[in-house]
Structure 1
Amino acid sequence: MATIKPFKAVRPFPEKAQDVAALPYDVYNRKEAAAAARGKLDSFLRVDRPETTLDDRMKMDDPFVYETARKNLDKLFYRKALTQDNKDCLYIYELIMDGRSQVGLVVCTAIDEYLNNTIKKHELTRADKEEDRIKHVNACDANTGPIFLTYRGEDAINVIVDKWRKENAPVYDFVSEDGIIHRAWVIDDDSMINRLVKKFKNVKSLYIADGHHRSASAVKVGLMRREANPNYTGEEEFNYFLSVLFPDEQLYIMDYNRVVKDLNGLSIEEFLNALSEKFEIEDRGSEAVKPQQKGSFGLYLDNKWYLLTVKEGVYDLADPVNSLDVAILQNNVLVPILGIGDIRTDERIDFVGGIRGLKELERRVNDDMTLAFSMYPTSIEELMNIADADLLMPPKSTWFEPKLRSGLFIHKLS
C-alpha cells in the first residue's frame, strides 16, 4: 500500500517558471553547471549547485556553500520568482519529448515507506554524495529536487489525472532549451485529492527510477529531525519527501554508455583476443554501432567500431541481475580484462547518457579516453523485477529521459 500526501508547494509564479526550472544538479560537472547558471539570476541551479555562484577555488563541501544555497533560495522569493501555496494540493507534471508524453503526479511520500521497502530501491548509494545532499536539504530546510518514482500503472489513477488535465488549464506551459515541453496543473479540490490518495492505497509498491541519493538523503534528514524532536507525531513535513510518480508504461529508458581510460596494459590485438573468448566480434569500420537487442554491444576503439555479441552460455538467463547487459559487460570485460575496480568510484571509467548520442562516445575516445562501449537499454520491467527481488543493479544501469526539472515544485520541511 502506497501513501501519498498533498503539500503546500513552493513553486514559481507562472511567468517565471521557465526561468526558474533547471535540470537536476547531478547531470552537470562543476564547469558545466557554472556555465548553465551564468547570467540566469532566477535559475534554480543557483540553489541546487550554489558553488556556481562562488569563486572556483571554493571547495564544494565547504559549509559556506550550503549557506549560499539557502541564501540563493531566499533570493528567489525576494525577486518574486517563487511563492508558496496556502493550502495542501497535489500537482500534475507532464513532460513531452519527441511527441511522447509522460504524466506524473507530484506528491509527498513517506520516509517510513522508504524504510519498510514499500518504496523499492535498485542501486547502492555513495556516502559522500548522500552527505552532500543531507547538508543541502538541512541548509535549505526543503526537498529541492523531486525523486522520480514509478509504479505499475493503475487505469483508475490515469482516468482521474487525465480528467483533471482536460477540464483545467495548466499553470505552467513552456518549452525548455532542449525542446522538452513542460506542463503542470494544480489539484486543489479536496474531493479529487482524497480520491487519488485512496487510489494509491491499491498500489502495492513504488520504485525509485532516478534519485537514489536524493531519497536516501531526504530520509536521513527526516530521521535526524525525529531524533531532535522526540515528541513528533508523524504528521510533520519532515516525515515526507518530494516525489513525482509516473506509471511504468509511460517511461523511456535510454542507453547508459561507458568510456574507459586505457586498455589496462594490453595491446589492441591482445584486448580483442581476450574479448573473443566471450563475444563474437564483427568489424563495422566507421559505421557507429547502436545495439538493437539484448546481449549486443558497440565497441569504439582506435577509430573503428565493432559489434560485440555475447556467446551462448556466458551468463545465466534466469539470473535477473547478471543477465543485464550492464552486468554482462561489467563481469566479463570491465573487471576481468580492463581491471576496473569499484565501478562506482574508479577514475578510469566514466558514463555517458544516451541522450548525448554515439558521436559523444567518439569525441570522448578521441579526447581523453581510449575506448567506448555503446549499450542496449535496461528495461523498466527488468528494473522493477530486480527491485521486487530485493536485489541491486550495477551502477549507472539506467538513463531516463526526459529529465524532471528542479525548482518547479519544492517541499518545505518546516
Structure 2
Amino acid sequence: MPSIKPFKAIRATPEKAAHVISRTYQDYGAEELEAQLKFNPFSFLHILNPGYKYSYEITGEERFNLVRNRFLEFREENHLMKEDAPAFYLYENKDPHHEYTGIIAAASVDDYLNDRIKKHEDTLSHKEVLFKDYLKIVGFNAEPVLLTYQDDASIDEITSQIKKKLPDYHFYTTDFNQHKIWAITDADLIQSIESIFSNKEKLYIADGHHRSSSSSLLAQELGEQNDSYNHFMSFLIPESQLNIYEFNRLVKDLNGHSKESFLMQLDQYFRIQNRGLEIYKPSKKHHFSMYLDGDFYSLYLRKDLYKIDTPLDDLDTQMLYDLVLQPILGIADLRNDGRIDYSYGKSDLLVMKDKIDRGDFAVGFGLFPATVQQMKSIADANLRMPPKSTFIRPKLPSGLIIYEFENE
C-alpha cells in the first residue's frame, strides 16, 4: 500500500512568502519574466534563472551549479528557512474560479517503481536524465508531483479540523490567488494521515510524470547514501478537485494533400460541418473542432466505423492520432516530429486561428478535455496517453515548500 511521510521543508519566511513564490518558470512571457527579475529581488525566479545576475544566458551543468548557489544565497539572506521538525503541510489555494486543498508530503520512490503510484503518460528518457542531473546538483526540488486519490471522508474530516486553526501562512499574490498553509507537526495527526494513505490501494499521478521518473533515477543512484533520495515531494488532493483541460494540436502542413482531398479523407470517419467564422468548441468527447483555410469546422466521429477495445481507444487524443495525425498527416512520432505543436490557454482557439492565419501552421484541432475517470482507467490498464493529452490544475507555485535532499 502507498506510504507517505513528513519531511523538514525549506520554505519562504512568512514576511516574504508573497514575494518569494513564483509560478512555474514556463508560465511567464518574456516581458513579465524580465519585470519580475528586475523589480522583485526576493522572487524564486532568481534561483531558477541565475544568469540574470550577470546578464548572461547559462545552460547545462553550469546553470545547475549557479541555481545551487542562488539557493544557498537565499538561505543565507533569510529569504528561506528550514523547519526544525518533519511535517506534513496542508495547503489551500483559492482563485476567483476554483479552490484546492491538499497535503504536501514525501511520497515513496518504491511505490512509484512497484506501481502503487499509477502512471498514465510515457516519459522521455533524455528529459528524465536531465532532470535527475539537475536534482543531483541543486540538491532540492521546488515543484511537487501532483498525486490524486479517491475522495476520502476521513481525510476531509482531518483537513476540516486543521482549517479551524490559524494558518502559519495566509497571503495573497498579484494573480488574485489566496494562499494558506498549515504545518502539521502533531505526532498523532501525522500518524493518522500516514495510516489513512497506507490503507489505500493506489495513488495516481495527475501531473509530474517526468519529475517522479527522474526522482526514481536519482534514488537508484544515491538512495543508499541517504533515505531522502528515496522519496519525492508530492501534493495529494482528492480527485474531485482536479481540473483537467485540453491541449489542442497544430500541424504545419497537410502532408501533400489539397484542402479538398484532406476533407475527403476526414469524411471517412467524421461528419463534417463548415461553421465559417463561428468559433466552435467541442462540448463532449468524440467531437472535435478544426480550423483550416479561414474556416472553423466541427468533426463528429462516425462511431460505427471506429472500434473501441481499450480505455485508450476511447481517448480523443488517441483517436485523433489513430484516424488523422498518423494515417492522413503522416505524423508517426508525436514526441519528436517538428511538424506538430501543442497549445493550451483560455482563448486557445483564437490563438490557434491566429497562428494558422499567419501561415505558421496549416490546420489546428480543438479537443474536449479528458476526464479523471479516463485518466484512471488508462493508468489501471497500464496504458499510456499520447503526449500533451491533459493540462491539469492545480499547479503549485515554486518556492512555497521545498524538498531538500539530505547529505549527512
TM-score normalised to structure 2 length: 0.93
Out of 71-80 and 264-273, give the one that drifted further.
71-80
Is 1:192 paired with 2:189?
Answer: yes
Q: Deviations over 1:257-313 (max 9, x none)?
A: 111111112211111111111111111111111100010011011221111111123
Is 1:404 paired with 2:396?
Answer: yes
Is 1:388 paired with 2:380?
Answer: yes
The aligned amino acid for 1:394 is P
Structure 1 residue 332: Cα displacement: 0.7
Report if the CA contact (8 A) 1:92-1:104 is conserved: yes
Is 1:204 paired with 2:201?
Answer: yes
Q: Aligned partners of 2:213 and 2:284: how far apart in 1?
A: 33
* 3-state DSSP of counterpart to 1:410: strand
Change (3 A) 1:129 1:56: farther
Pick from 140, 143, 146 the counterpart of residue 141 of structure 2.
Answer: 143
Structure 2 unmatched runs, 5+: none
Change (3 A) 1:56 1:284: farther
Out of 104-113 and 368-377, give the one that drifted further.
368-377
Structure 1 residue 365: Cα displacement: 1.8
Q: Residue 163 of structure 2 corresponds to which residue in structure 1?
A: 165
The aligned amino acid for 1:287 is E
Q: CA RMSD in A?
A: 2.0
Structure 1 residue 160: Cα displacement: 0.3
Structure 1 residue 111: Cα displacement: 0.8
Structure 1 residue 28: Cα displacement: 6.0
Q: Residue 221 of structure 2 corresponds to which residue in structure 1?
A: 224
Out of 207-216 and 315-324, give the one that drifted further.
315-324
In percent, how many aligned pairs have the same letter?
35
The aligned amino acid for 2:42 is D
Structure 1 residue 191: Cα displacement: 1.5
Structure 1 residue 345: Cα displacement: 1.4
Report if the CA contact (8 A) 1:317-1:323 is conserved: yes
Q: Deviations over 1:68-105 (max 9, x none)?
A: 11012112223321111111111011222333212110
* Mapping for residues 223-302 of structure 1, pairs under 5 Å: 223-226=220-223, 229=225, 236-302=227-293
TM-score normalised to structure 1 length: 0.92
Q: Aligned partners of 1:79 and 1:331: how far apart in 2?
A: 54
Report if the CA contact (8 A) 1:254-1:354 is conserved: no
Pick from 314, 320, 324 the counterpart of residue 329 of structure 1.
Answer: 320
Structure 1 unmatched runs, 5+: none
Q: Residue 86 of structure 1 corresponds to which residue in structure 2?
A: 84
Report if the CA contact (8 A) 1:255-1:376 is conserved: yes
Change (3 A) 1:51 1:131: farther
Q: Deviations over 1:118-173 (max 9, x none)?
A: 11111111122112211211111112211111111111111101210122335133
Report if the CA contact (8 A) 2:37-2:45 is conserved: no
Q: Aligned partners of 1:276 and 1:310: how far apart in 2?
A: 10
Structure 1 residue 32: Cα displacement: 7.5
Q: Aligned partners of 2:53 and 2:263: how far apart in 1?
A: 47
Q: Residue 117 of structure 1 corresponds to which residue in structure 2?
A: 115
Paired residues, number: 404
Change (3 A) 1:162 1:307: same
Structure 1 residue 37: Cα displacement: 4.9
Q: Aligned partners of 1:243 and 1:144: how far apart in 2?
A: 10
The aligned amino acid for 2:350 is K
* 3-state DSSP of counterpart to 2:17: helix
Q: Residue 37 of structure 2 corresponds to which residue in structure 1?
A: 38
